[in-house]
Structure 1
């Protein structure tokens, strides 16, 4: 449905246009969801491929006109249609639950929910002159979402589950989950999560991010994996269950993942190795002095490096191998060696009367991923060149 057209198609600019993507689940087939965009008020336009993640696949487009004729439409081509539509095929989750790490469009037949990621699923529209056209996503529930810019994290869409509205640090946050125990234990975990998020936001006082929604999805412990993902306005968090139940360790992991993904929304300016390692370190640190305190980052690293064959690789070399060469086998270093590095820096800063908390918001990085000289100099001023060199040689 067209939201607004302020002048004729000959005079309209992309800033005057906004499109609405209507999400329509198939009433008889839960694996199928249609996306319908009314383009009648546009003159010629183009459809750009959706942002991609693991594969370059794109949904086939259908051009429809008032006379009822439907034809296939091509991407990156001038089009004139009254309506553009496409169908998304969702993958049914297996017995282990939703694997968030894959970020695949998915559904649960048993619990009646579906998930759509912007990746590979939501193409974008431009004018004939290739000026972007703003877009809203209209869910069947009536909820509207804004399609983020291509420099922002992806949009995540959730349907079939009724969210719970909570006040978290003065902001209305929508919590969605497919696990009833999470709902029943809100009074236990909500104060901890509030404390975590309040602390993380305080680290970056200039950041405008203050609220985002959270969706918790069951993941059976037998799968031996739990993950999360940060979208433009929603984070996804796996909740580990055994026989459908959460235990104390599961709640600790859930809160850590929630903090980790929240850090990705709060701080979006760091290179990959620093983004992941800072998110993990502060997710762990945010649980200090709570009933869900997490393992020490250095202890984890000391155990991990005994069995991880790539442990001797420095974080900057691992960053290059992952980001430039796609060698994902080095990625675990960001989650284990990285937090140990930041813990070492934080410890010596604290001993010198400062802390990582006081410096982290001002860190900048070079294109290679290295901490910028000005950031290194700030650390060295406090802990000394010799201590910095020793730590950086051990980790970076």
Structure 2
């Protein structure tokens, strides 16, 4: 449910005295009259020698059309990334997809427009980086509207991607020092206001579990988009201080089950957003999936358990017998995504089984979580320290059984 994640100040000749200059801004102007096409603009006080770097991408260069840049109003037929370009003003077009005219699976991480009055931009393929620039802001703005411009710092290459959403909000919620801002596309009002406090409870639980107050983001944006349940594309995506999630509707209505799944997806993405520890892929996804479920319990929402999901899923899944360590290798080394569902299903069931055993022993996975780690950066196996801790708390036989059942 999660899938797996731009700099701009001029140039190579920055003097130390300029180091404290404000960030360079890329402003994305959109309009209600042509809402599916926006203009990105970077303006400098004087012509700058720029070296553009390719935008981050998740789709691959072969699937990504080149950006058509305008330098001081003149279209550049082709731009060679890394080659110097002198401009005072650089512009290009950014497109958005209307979430109500086509079924948009959030996991695809496209730029979205909602007729309810908001736009959501992901940096993939649309935001070039600039060599030699240490601080950049991406700003969203609606032409001829009173809403203030909304800006967010461009993440580094090693951070989760930028997801910037601006325009008409649905609701804001306060949890401790964190403000949640909700943008919702729900044409038939399938979700009611009473669904929202549960999200506050999920966030409060996961914040207490994963991040001290001083390290928790002050602002988190979330985007909820309805999608037909028949499409089977309920998913989410996390960025830096923002996440997206689909929720299922049938004939315009959301059931208790689809609302619970929406909160499960939201809890999964919140885990990714708040977790500070770096995990191998299978651990990251399986823990996020399990804690998405566990946060439901904290919010008083009911859903089938990860174990129940896995029991039903494994009956029709061809790779059900594959251990999580091997599945990790198949996905990351062999580039075989057909094993990816094991992280969500079998992985979450594994952590639920571990948690239940720990609770019977008088503790819980919540207390052990800070000590969950991999053997090494490129190793999918749990470390000997983690396995040893589990064996001490439970027993060698119990841990060995869990390993054989889920990991090997």
Provide Cα deviations, 1:83-107, integer angstroms capped at 9, x if missing partner. 2222123344465633101112233
CA distance in 1, matches of 2:15, 2:177: 46
Match for residue 192 of structure 2 among 170, 179, 185 = 185
The answer to whether structure 1 residue 312 and structure 2 residue 318 are counterparts is: no
Match for residue 223 of structure 2 among 204, 210, 215 = 215
- The DSSP-based 3-state class of the residue aligned with 1:287 is helix
Per mean C-alpha deviation after superposition, the further-off stretch among 194-203 and 88-97 is 88-97
**How far off its partner does 1:312 sit?**
0.8
Contact 2:190/2:254, CA 8 A, preserved across alignment:
no
The answer to whether structure 1 residue 242 and structure 2 residue 253 are counterparts is: no
Are residues 251 and 112 of structure 1, via their aligned partners in 2, closer, same or farther at CA, if it must alter by over 3 Å? same
**How far off its partner does 1:376 sit?**
1.8
Contact 1:40/1:83, CA 8 A, preserved across alignment:
no
Provide Cα deviations, 1:244-293, integer angstroms capped at 9, x if missing partner. 22221121111111101100011151111111111111111122265422
**How far off its partner does 1:351 sit?**
1.5
- The DSSP-based 3-state class of the residue aligned with 2:248 is strand
- The DSSP-based 3-state class of the residue aligned with 1:39 is strand
CA distance in 2, matches of 1:355, 1:163: 36
Contact 1:59/1:121, CA 8 A, preserved across alignment:
no
**In structure 2, what is the equivalent of residue 31 of structure 1?**
36
Contact 2:99/2:225, CA 8 A, preserved across alignment:
no
CA distance in 1, matches of 2:256, 2:204: 22
Contact 2:202/2:298, CA 8 A, preserved across alignment:
no
CA distance in 1, matches of 2:336, 2:366: 31
**How far off its partner does 1:329 sit?**
0.8
**In structure 2, what is the equivalent of residue 152 of structure 1?**
159
Instruction: Compute the RMSD of aligned alpha carbons.
Output: 2.6
The answer to whether structure 1 residue 82 and structure 2 residue 88 are counterparts is: yes
| Structural mapping, 1:76-225, within 5 Å | 76-93=82-99, 95=101, 97-108=103-114, 110-127=115-132, 132-140=133-141, 141=147, 142-179=149-186, 185-186=192-193, 188-206=194-212, 208-210=215-217, 211-225=219-233
For structure 1, which runs of at least 5 residues remain unmatched after alignment? Answer: none
**How far off its partner does 1:114 sit?**
3.4
CA distance in 2, matches of 1:184, 1:293: 16
The answer to whether structure 1 residue 374 and structure 2 residue 398 are counterparts is: no
The answer to whether structure 1 residue 322 and structure 2 residue 335 are counterparts is: no
CA distance in 2, matches of 1:282, 1:240: 21
Match for residue 343 of structure 1 among 338, 341, 352 = 352
Contact 2:9/2:130, CA 8 A, preserved across alignment:
no
The answer to whether structure 1 residue 334 and structure 2 residue 343 are counterparts is: yes
**How far off its partner does 1:37 sit?**
0.8
Are residues 183 and 14 of structure 1, via their aligned partners in 2, closer, same or farther at CA, if it must alter by over 3 Å? farther
Per mean C-alpha deviation after superposition, the further-off stretch among 23-32 and 194-203 is 23-32
Per mean C-alpha deviation after superposition, the further-off stretch among 145-154 and 91-100 is 91-100
Contact 1:96/1:220, CA 8 A, preserved across alignment:
no
TM-score normalised by L of structure 1:
0.88
CA distance in 2, matches of 1:180, 1:70: 39
The answer to whether structure 1 residue 263 and structure 2 residue 271 are counterparts is: yes
Contact 2:174/2:200, CA 8 A, preserved across alignment:
no
CA distance in 1, matches of 2:298, 2:48: 60
For structure 2, which runs of at least 5 residues remain unmatched after alignment? Answer: 1-7, 142-146
**How far off its partner does 1:214 sit?**
1.3
Contact 2:9/2:135, CA 8 A, preserved across alignment:
no
Provide Cα deviations, 1:98-152, integer angstroms capped at 9, x if missing partner. 31011122335x545433211111111122xxxx331111211411111111111
TM-score normalised by L of structure 2:
0.86
Using CA pairs under 8 Å that are at least 6 residues apart, name the structure with larger relative contact order, 1 or 2: 2
Per mean C-alpha deviation after superposition, the further-off stretch among 208-217 and 228-237 is 208-217
- The DSSP-based 3-state class of the residue aligned with 1:295 is coil
Contact 2:178/2:216, CA 8 A, preserved across alignment:
no
**How far off its partner does 1:162 sit?**
2.8
Are residues 45 and 169 of structure 1, via their aligned partners in 2, closer, same or farther at CA, if it must alter by over 3 Å? same
**In structure 1, what is the equivalent of residue 285 of structure 2?**
276
Are residues 71 and 97 of structure 1, via their aligned partners in 2, closer, same or farther at CA, if it must alter by over 3 Å? closer
**How far off its partner does 1:63 sit?**
4.6
> For this pair of structures, how many residues does the alignment match?
384
